[in-house]
Amino acid sequence: MRKFGVQSIMDYSVESDSLQNIEEKAASEIVCEKKILKITENEFDKIIKIFLKCVDTVANATKREGFAAIKLTALGRPQLFTKYSEMIVQLQTFFKAITGSTDNDIFLNKISKEEFLKRLEEFQIKIDNQIFEDWFKMLDTDEDGFIDYYDWEALLNEKKELIQMFTSFNVRTGKVEPLIQQFTEIEEQEFSNMMDRLLHLADYAKSAGVGIMIDAEQTYYQPAISRIVIDLMKKYNQDSCQIMNTYQAYLKKTLSTIEHDLRLSQRENFYFGCKLVRGAYMEEESKRAADRGYENPINPSYEATNEMYNKCLERIIKEHHNETNKNKISVMVASHNEESIRKAIQILKDEVIAPSENVIYFAQLYGMCDQISFSLGQAGYPAFKYVPYGPVEEVLPYLSRRALENGSMLQNLAKERKLLWKELKRRLLSGQIIHRVPIA
Ligand SMILES: Cc1cc2nc3c(=O)[nH]c(=O)nc-3n(C[C@H](O)[C@H](O)[C@H](O)COP(=O)(O)OP(=O)(O)OC[C@H]3O[C@@H](n4cnc5c(N)ncnc54)[C@H](O)[C@@H]3O)c2cc1C
């Protein structure tokens, strides 16, 4: 692949379903929660060792220019991600209710102390006045007399215990309860272990000159994943794009999520790295939403997803020209869709951005759309292949899902086969059986 200017991204392809099995197995053998924790944590410690080896492989193979892709749910119990995601969503919902915001303008709105107290009273949310005064002062870091969404989000970090202040009467349980749920002591420990593993991996990758690309997963894990990746970007993306997040264009909310994260990168001065995909869990997401009776998070049609993909790409590239974020933006067009790739190339031309500036990367899955990856690589664009690896029994569920999700890819495979035959015929007729890569 290197000969054709194509680099690889090693993707440890374990599904969270396989990890759930680990936990179920542990639970069926031993009932004590602490022992279950020990077993699951041992498994995650084994997985982190595989990731570290992967970083070594990437460092050796790519001469400090490659990426390792990881699924965060491989480093901690999936339920932990679900619960953390719920906490984030509850926090967002609370802020939206207090400020009257929507998903699209949540990060534009702010609220004064007086207004906040008034809204709490309207919602019959109890809070001690003096505690509220101190709390407001602590969150209002720029001391402008307002709390915006970025101040508010800090509640999940160092100011976690402050969340418990907001309580209200739960009609169902008949008790006064915190509005935002908390981790139990054991979950707190698990979360901290998971973060330790992740930070160890990120430090190791940084010293090896390897970038980390975090995969996007299902919406019930994704708020937690995004939040953790943003924290990693703040820490590791101070002078380059070492950590990349993944954004799924099939979600209705994606453009506003990108807007939020770009503004945060300006505000906190870090490099913004984004892998842009359409999204791989469409059927599962739609089914889950229908079964549980909430709004389907997926765009209503393929065309709407394509439109979202283009809008996200354009928005990110616009940021490249923003003075504060100039040269601090990278986006990977991770797609087999020829239209998206053509559009990205056109944007580079229109905006006069050289391929070597690494503002836009391209990536396809290993063994799929090779005609695209190899042409891009030979033309001097930063082209990558996602190479799945891992124990066969754990990689198989991943591969079978990719095959199912990429049903449309079968058309591409037919096209690829046609192109291969055409190339074979050309070589036979021209007597050039072995293709030599032209020197750039
Ligand atoms: C390098 C690489 C890395 C990837 N990493 C991730 C990842 O981290 N997380 C992840 O979730 N996926 C990931 N994917 C998979 C990706 O999200 C897509 O499932 C896959 O690439 C197919 O989309 P496409 O853009 O290549 O092609 P296309 O065939 O143009 O698009 C198919 C996609 O369009 C969307 N779509 C299809 N029909 C509809 C409809 N009726 N309504 C709304 N949307 C629709 C779906 O997302 C579907 O997968 C990755 C793909 C690549 C190439």
Distance 278 CA to ligand 1 centre (A): 4
Per-residue pLDDT at 440 = 46
Structure tokens at 62: 């790519």
Q: Ligand 1 atom closest to Cα of 309?
A: 25
Looking at residue 159, its pLDDT comes to 54
Q: Are residues 206 and 161 in the same domain?
A: no
What pLDDT is attached to residue 252? Answer: 97
Query: What lines the ligand 1 site, CB under 6 Å?
Result: 215-216, 246, 248, 250, 277-282, 298-299, 301-302, 305, 334-337, 363-365, 386, 405-406, 408
| Statement to judge: residues 375 and 413 lie in one domain | yes
Question: Are residue 214 and residue 360 in the same domain, yes or no?
Answer: yes
Q: Among the atoms of ligand 1, which is closest to the Cα of residue 336? A: 26
On the CB side of 99, how many CA atoms lie within 13 Å of its CA?
24
Q: Are residues 251 and 281 in the same domain?
A: yes
> What CA–CA distance (Å, rounded) separates 144 from 364?
47
Q: How far apart are the CA of 277 and the centre of ligand 1, in A?
A: 6
Last residue of a domain, one of 178, 212, 234: 178
Question: Is residue 332 domain-shared with residue 417, that is, in the same domain?
Answer: yes
Other CB atoms within 10 Å distance of the CB of residue 263: 16
The token duo for 40 is 């699951």
For residue 182, report the distance from its CA to the centre of ligand 1, in Å: 34
With respect to residue 35, please indicate whether it lies within any of the assigned structural domains: yes
Q: What is the pLDDT along the chain (440 residues), one digit of tens a residue?
A: 777 788 889 887 765 555 555 555 555 554 456 666 666 788 888 889 989 998 998 888 776 678 999 999 989 888 899 999 998 898 888 889 889 999 888 888 999 999 988 888 888 777 778 878 888 888 888 888 999 998 888 777 755 565 666 666 565 666 666 667 788 888 888 999 999 999 999 999 999 999 999 999 999 999 999 999 999 999 999 999 999 999 999 999 999 999 999 999 999 999 999 999 999 999 999 999 999 999 999 999 999 999 999 999 999 999 988 888 888 999 999 999 999 999 999 999 999 999 989 899 999 998 888 888 998 998 899 999 998 877 777 677 666 766 665 555 555 666 666 666 776 676 667 766 555 655 44
Q: What tokens were used for 247?
A: 């954004």
Contacts of residue 95, Cβ cutoff 8 Å, sequence gap at least 6: 101, 106, 149, 152
pLDDT reported for residue 130: 82
The residue whose CA has the least distance to atom 16 of ligand 1 is 279
Task: Please check whether residues 141 and 194 belong to one and the same domain.
Answer: no
pTM for the model: 0.86
User: Does some domain include residue 439?
Assistant: no
Output the CA 17–ligand 1 centroid distance in Å. Answer: 20
Sorted by sequence, the CB contacts under 8 Å of residue 288 that are 6+ apart come out as 220
Which pLDDT score is estimated for 30? 45
For the residues of 274-320, what is the DSSP string, one character each?
A: EEEE--S-HHHHHHHHHHHTS---B-SSHHHHHHHHHHHHHHHHHHH
Supply the CATH number for residue 317's domain: 3.20.20.220
Give a yes or no: residue 407 inside a domain. Answer: yes
Q: What are the φ/ψ torsions at residue 138 (nearest 5 degrees)?
A: -65, -40
**Within a domain: residue 27?**
yes
**356 shares a domain with 322:** yes
Pocket of ligand 1, candidates 278, 308, 401: which has the most ligand atoms within 8 Å of its Cβ, to mutate?
278
- Of 178, 208, 229, which residue is a domain's last? 178
Q: Do 277 and 216 contact (CB within 8 A), yes or no?
A: yes
Task: Check residue 107 and give its pLDDT.
Answer: 85
How far from chain centre, in Å, is Cα 212? Answer: 11
Atom 9, ligand 1: which residue's CA is nearest?
A: 216
Distance CA 411, CA 306 (A): 18
For the chain, the maximum distance between any two Cα atoms, rounded to a whole number of angstroms, is 86
Closest protein CA for atom 39 of ligand 1: 302
CATH code (residue 153): 1.10.238
Q: Are residues 57 and 103 in the same domain?
A: no
Q: Which atom of ligand 1 is nearest to the CA of 214?
A: 8
250 CA from centroid of ligand 1 (Å) = 8
| 116: containing domain | 85-178
Q: Quick one: CA dihedral 272, 83, 278, 64, positive or negative?
A: positive
Last residue of a domain, which of 178, 213, 228? 178
Q: Which residues contact 56 (CB under 8 A, 6 or more apart)?
A: 208
What pLDDT does residue 364 have?
A: 94
Q: 25: part of which helix (H) or strand (E)? A: helix 16-29
Q: Does residue 344 contact residue 288 with C-beta atoms inside 8 Å?
A: no
362 and 265 within one domain: yes
Do 113 and 260 belong together in one domain? no
- Which helix H or strand E contains 271, and what residues bound it? none
**Ligand 1 center to residue 42 CA distance, Å?**
33
Residue 74 in contact with residue 212, Cβ under 8 Å?
Answer: no
Closest to 295 (Cα-Cα) out of 249, 246, 251: 251
**How many angstroms is it from 280 CA to the middle of ligand 1?**
5
Does residue 253 form part of some domain? yes
Domain count, the chain: 2
440 belongs to a structural domain: no
pLDDT of residue 103: 85
The residues pairing with 251 across neighbouring beta strands, listed in sequence order, are 298
- Residue 436 covered by a domain: no
| CA of residue 122 to ligand 1 center, whole Å | 44
Same domain, 25 and 167: no
Asked, for residue 80, whether it belongs to a domain, the answer is no
Q: Are 197 and 343 found together in one domain?
A: yes
